[in-house]
Structure 1
């Protein structure tokens, strides 16, 4: 199917009358709803209000503009020891729209330094890896991979691991983090 001048004019007329893309596709015949939508965008035809009821009054629109949408919980404030109700001075608002396109909002928010995690001194010790290849791994060696497996310098940690873990104590702490720590870090 090709878009002849006659079909394009009929598309413009039906679009201005407020018909949906599906209805226009049915009237034109031999064209899909998506083809109609694509042609409308390429022709840059003006957008229309969504169907679904009466148009809101000016008072309803003003009320809708003045009400803020509910905010998502602020997990960062909880980690910093504040109550969730304490919000930064510049809180995000609903995105602006122009026609059917949402415009990106630029929000400048105050940032807080994350609280330092207090760890025992032995948690900061990185073991000296034995750097062993895959063929030398045993049940009691750490199987933590280091590097890119497709490269020549790829190896495994190789330090001693407990019976119930494939990793040494250091790499087990990296691999198995409590859920609360994962939420805070992400």
Structure 2
């Protein structure tokens, strides 16, 4: 069995009308299976089927609804199915708008040596650890917030989403 242009056109027409893969296979005949139809639909990238009004599945057994459960909300936009569901839209390729600049306030404190470092001080390293003038930031940090002052914490802990965005921008440049 081979896929001729006529058979592909008929497949597309029946698929977009909402006919099931089994019924399309029976319609096209010649030993065509449901899986062959599904495979061809996938390779053609067909989606956006409409439901056929006359074709319904058997009625499910009546069930009592639990009073504590709310019904699932229906999506307001049409769902995209098939191999085109993850296709990148041109609008998604646009670079994100730059973030507004923020004034950076760094608390002024004298860098400290490891011997002068206390629990309430920022442990951000400054300089080369092998050099004699190596120091730590020493600014006051919020207790229980980690080892750094608020300024160095923003540098050290970049959200993963921002790191991914920066990598994409660097790759495209």
TM range (shorter): 0.3 to 0.5
> Looking at both structures, which has the greater relative contact order when contacts are Cα pairs under 8 Å and sequence separation is at least 6?
2
Q: TM-score, normalised by structure 2?
A: 0.40
